[in-house]
Structure 1
Amino acid sequence: MTPAIETEGLTKRYDEEIAVEDLSIAIEPGSVYGFLGPNGAGKTTTMRMLTTLTRPTEGSARVAGVSIENRDELTPHIGYLPDEPPLYDELTGREQLTYITGLRDLPEGEARKRMNDLFERFDLVEGADKRIDSYSTGMRKKLGIMQAVIHRPRVVFLDEPTTGLDPRAARTMRDTIAELAAQEMTILLSTHILPVVDELADAVGVIHDGRLVAEGAPEQLKRRAETGEQRSLEDAFLDITHEAPGAEVPDP
């Protein structure tokens, strides 16, 4: 099976500073991949390279079977929700999505139906015709993921999707991620909310100082330290990022 996301030696340097170094991963189609790491570890830089927003210094990558060098060919197959969603404050939520569906060349009738479904799904019907500059952080995050998935991409990149959401909205976001994966979308999920990754991820990669230092199923990472105790993914993450880079997760 061809990976939905595959990188080989992906590297990004800014002058003498290494943001991402020699990253090689392969993510299966229809899976949720939790991408973990401390602040400044290289998660966002990796996402920006995989979505063609930043050019790598070295290495290569393919997303949905398309090289990241082919931006025009790749863009229709991906969706991206950055930590700060790119929204036009002077537009209403509906106008924002209408603009996005126009860029995606969705037929007007289909675009309207998808918009209405998403406004309902994210409990944003009352805010659909309000200006975005009146939106709360949570409302902006909801609109951000709506515009990331409205064209039903094959691969979705989510950078801190639950940040700023109240518990009900965060639950909706988690349910939505699970539903997208059930529809054979592939999700690369970066978040500091480790229970979200524990609940949703099929596999987890931990990046530290720009290098992938551990990879495996959540249960594998939890068993990393042979303590005999019931461990959480948070415990495993803290141990892994405290250790020297390059350690491997034991086989199940």
Structure 2
Amino acid sequence: MLRLENISKSYNKGAIKAVDNINLDIKKGEIFGFLGPNGAGKTTTIKMIVGLLKPDSGKVTVGTVDAWQEPIEAKSMISYVPDNPEIYDRLKGIEYLNFMGDMYGIPKEEREKKLNYYLELFSIKDAVGDLIASYSHGMKQKIVLTGALLSNPDLFILDEPMVGLDPKSAFNLKEIMRKMCDEGKTVFFSTHVLEVAEKLCDRIAIINKGKIVALGTMEELKAHAEEKQSLENIFLELTE
């Protein structure tokens, strides 16, 4: 569903190598965890996948579509939740959600049904008539998640999605992610919550200083570690 081939990205005229020639192949029906310390290249990689940053070299393929040669077709298959929910503060929540529905061409009846479901699930139904400027960080995160889920994307990309969510909403999001993959969709997400990644992900990649330093299932990662360690210990061993 998603393939990265020899992707690289530098800043400051090549002085800083944020992402260094990485290759990943993510399958349909897979929850794929993307882990790394701050500054390792996670967000830069994600922004190249979704079309916000152009790679210096390499290729991003979504399904069978070259994401940079056919960007509209590629983006029609993707929903993206960024690491910080910077959205239109002067819109009401429902106005933002209808804008998202319009962008993806979701019919009114289907849209209303999905909105009722997700707004109830994330406990923000009573707040959608308010300006987004009045929302807490967690409420903004929930409204962004709701908007991203409206299109039922083939590829759901999330950058630190649990930040700011209350325990119930975080649990519901994990349930949604698993259900999507059971239906043949693909989830690609970064997180610093290693316990969540260990329990939820089918496969995990660890990036450090722009390079992939580990890739595989939890069993495969443990097999390459010195002992049968937790993901936290493996992560610290590989990134220190």
SS in 2 for 1:99: helix
- What pairs up with 1:124-139 in 2 under 5 angstroms? 124-139=124-139
Post-superposition shift, 1:86? 3.7
Aligned residue for 2:18? Answer: 19
Aligned residue for 1:191? Answer: 191
SS in 2 for 1:143: helix
Decide whether the 8 Å contact of 1:5 with 1:63 is kept in 2: yes
Q: Residues 202-245 of structure 1: CA distance to partner in whole angstroms, max 9, x if unpaired? A: 00001110011110102222343333xx5211111111112xxx
Aligned residue for 1:46? Answer: 45
Q: Determine if the alignment matches structure 1 residue 179 to structure 2 residue 176.
A: no
Post-superposition shift, 1:44? 0.5
Q: Determine if the alignment matches structure 1 residue 113 to structure 2 residue 110.
A: no
Post-superposition shift, 1:82? 0.4
Aligned residue for 2:145? Answer: 145
Post-superposition shift, 1:85? 2.0
Give the partner amino acid of 2:8: T
Decide whether the 8 Å contact of 2:121 with 2:169 is kept in 1: no
How large is the Cα RMSD of the aligned pairs?
Answer: 1.3
Post-superposition shift, 1:78? 0.2
SS in 1 for 2:198: helix
Taking structure 1 as reference, are residues 61 and 76 closer, same or farther at Cα in structure 2, changes over 3 Å only?
A: same
Aligned residue for 1:8? Answer: 5
Q: Determine if the alignment matches structure 1 residue 202 to structure 2 residue 202.
A: yes
Post-superposition shift, 1:102? 0.9
2-structure distance, mates of 1:105, 1:89: 23
Report the more deviating stretch, 104-113 or 58-67.
Answer: 104-113
Aligned residue for 1:97? Answer: 97
SS in 2 for 1:198: helix
Decide whether the 8 Å contact of 1:81 with 1:157 is kept in 2: yes
Post-superposition shift, 1:65? 1.9
1-structure distance, mates of 2:225, 2:110: 51
Post-superposition shift, 1:147? 1.2
Decide whether the 8 Å contact of 1:94 with 1:115 is kept in 2: no
Q: What are the ranges of 5 or more consecutive residues in structure 2 without an aligned counterpart?
A: none
SS in 2 for 1:19: strand
2-structure distance, mates of 1:102, 1:114: 14
Residue identity over aligned pairs, in percent, reads 36
1-structure distance, mates of 2:149, 2:32: 17
Decide whether the 8 Å contact of 1:88 with 1:96 is kept in 2: yes
2-structure distance, mates of 1:11, 1:226: 30
Decide whether the 8 Å contact of 2:2 with 2:62 is kept in 1: yes
Aligned residue for 1:246? Answer: none
Report the more deviating stretch, 60-69 or 84-93.
Answer: 84-93
Decide whether the 8 Å contact of 1:223 with 1:231 is kept in 2: no
TM-score (norm 2): 0.94
- What pairs up with 1:59-98 in 2 under 5 angstroms? 59-69=58-68, 70-98=70-98
1-structure distance, mates of 2:149, 2:168: 20
2-structure distance, mates of 1:27, 1:203: 9
Post-superposition shift, 1:179? 1.8
Q: Residues 81-137 of structure 1: CA distance to partner in whole angstroms, max 9, x if unpaired? A: 001124211222111100111111111222222211111121211112222112121
2-structure distance, mates of 1:28, 1:175: 19
Q: Which has the higher contact order (CA 8 A, sep 6+)?
A: 2
